[in-house]
């Protein structure tokens, strides 16, 4: 068979590219964050710090391969330092790389649903505090969080909009694990915790101190939050419940 010089060059290039591609398939350590194995979710933890009490870190790995990160230096800085970028996971799911818009890459190892921080060579950090270099995955529920829920029924009774000074509602923010809303008079706020099995708990519930003519609804609403230990959910309704009683509070999803 007669092969012209131009054809020979193309054939050699194709073989070279095939060999290179094959090597990358076997040895590549990076895939996009869209890989189903990528551990998308929210992770939190307090990492060791050389000149502060600890680094409080929140990390949000998005499904599209991007991430948001916030770091607060305990005992030194009250403000949070934000960071954004992209992340990749190797094909075996044993290494995760954060590539910020500005700054050095950070390496982690996904392990048992959490992220273990690694050094720049991809090795486990050592020392007395080695077991503290961990970000734990926070349980979240996209059906519940990031939406506005308007109170419709409290302790089995319908809420009369004409009686309450303001519409009572609640919203859950997964990034901060805090809720906010209105009790029908005052703004309400505080941390919450979600656990598997639709478990929920509220703690350190706070509110503003404005006086209203009728605060019966608000007092009962706050009491319901203190007693709630699990919730049930449909596309348009939320119910806060307690194992020992009927539903404490029922909410309707706001179209806002």
**Calpha distance 125→133 (Å, rounded):** 8
125 and 157 in one domain?
no
Same structural domain, 89 and 161 = no
CATH of the domain at 169: 2.40.128.270
- 22 versus 7: the higher-pLDDT residue is 7
Of 84, 109, 138, the domain-final residue: 138
- 18: which residues sit within 8 A by CB, 6+ positions away? none
**Mean pLDDT of the residues in the chain:** 85
Q: Single out the residue of 58, 64, 68 nearest to residue 38, CA to CA.
A: 64
**pLDDT tens digit sequence for 11-69:** 333 333 333 332 222 222 333 334 434 589 999 999 999 899 999 999 999 999 999 99
Q: Per residue, what are the HEC states of 59-72?
A: EEECCCCEEEEEEE
Q: Round to whole Å and give the CA distance between 71 and 83.
A: 8
User: Which residue, 128, 68, 72, 136, is CA-closest to 108?
Assistant: 136
Read off the pLDDT of residues 166-213 as tens digits, 9 standing for 90 and up. 899 999 999 999 999 999 999 999 999 999 999 999 999 999 999 888
Question: Pairing between strand 81-89 and 169-173?
Answer: unpaired
Give me the CATH number covering residue 66. 2.40.128.640
**Which tops the pLDDT comparison, 1 or 82?**
82
pLDDT band at 162 (very low <50, low <70, confident <90, very high): low
pLDDT band at 161 (very low <50, low <70, confident <90, very high): low
| Maximum pairwise Cα distance, the chain | 99
Q: How many residues does the chain have?
A: 256
pLDDT tens-place string over residues 93-140: 899 999 999 999 999 999 988 999 999 999 999 888 999 999 999 999
- % of the chain at pLDDT higher than 90: 70
Co-location of 164 and 125 in the same domain: no
Do residue 155 and residue 243 come from a single domain?
A: yes
Residue 134 and residue 167 share a domain: no
Does position 225 have pLDDT exceeding 80, yes or no?
A: yes
Q: Identify whether the C-beta of residue 96 lies closer than 8 Å to the C-beta of residue 116.
A: no
119 found inside a domain: yes
pLDDT score for 212: 87
> Number of structural domains, the chain?
2
Domain stops at, among 119, 138, 157:
138
Cβ neighbour number for residue 81 with a 10 Å cutoff: 11
Q: What is the extent of the structural domain holding 210?
A: 148-253
Q: What is the pLDDT of residue 243?
A: 81
């Amino acid at each position: 068979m007669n092969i012209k010089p131009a054809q020979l060059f193309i054939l050699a290039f194709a073989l070279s590219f095939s060999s290179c591609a094959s090597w990358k398939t076997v040895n590549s350590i990076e895939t996009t964050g869209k890989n189903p194995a990528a551990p998308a979710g929210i992770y939190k933890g307090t990492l060791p710090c050389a000149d502060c009490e600890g680094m409080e870190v929140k990390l949000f790995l998005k499904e599209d391969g991007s991430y948001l990160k916030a770091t607060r230096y305990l005992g030194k800085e009250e403000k949070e330092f934000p960071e954004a970028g992209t992340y990749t996971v190797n094909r075996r799911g044993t290494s995760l790389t954060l590539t910020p818009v500005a700054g050095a890459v950070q390496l982690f190892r996904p392990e048992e649903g959490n992220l273990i921080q690694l050094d720049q060579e991809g090795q486990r950090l050592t020392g007395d505090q080695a077991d503290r270099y961990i970000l734990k995955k926070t349980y979240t529920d996209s059906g519940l969080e990031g939406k506005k829920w308007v109170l419709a029924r409290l302790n089995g009774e319908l809420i009369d909009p004409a009686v309450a000074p303001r519409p009572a509602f609640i919203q859950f923010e997964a990034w901060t694990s805090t809720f906010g809303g209105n009790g029908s008079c005052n703004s309400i706020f505080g941390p919450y915790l979600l656990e598997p099995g639709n478990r929920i708990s509220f703690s350190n519930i706070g509110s503003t101190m404005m006086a209203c003519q009728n605060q019966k609804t608000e007092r009962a609403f706050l009491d319901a939050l203190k007693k709630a230990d699990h919730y049930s959910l449909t596309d348009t309704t939320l119910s806060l419940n307690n194992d020992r009683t009927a539903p404490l509070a029922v909410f309707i999803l706001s179209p806002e």
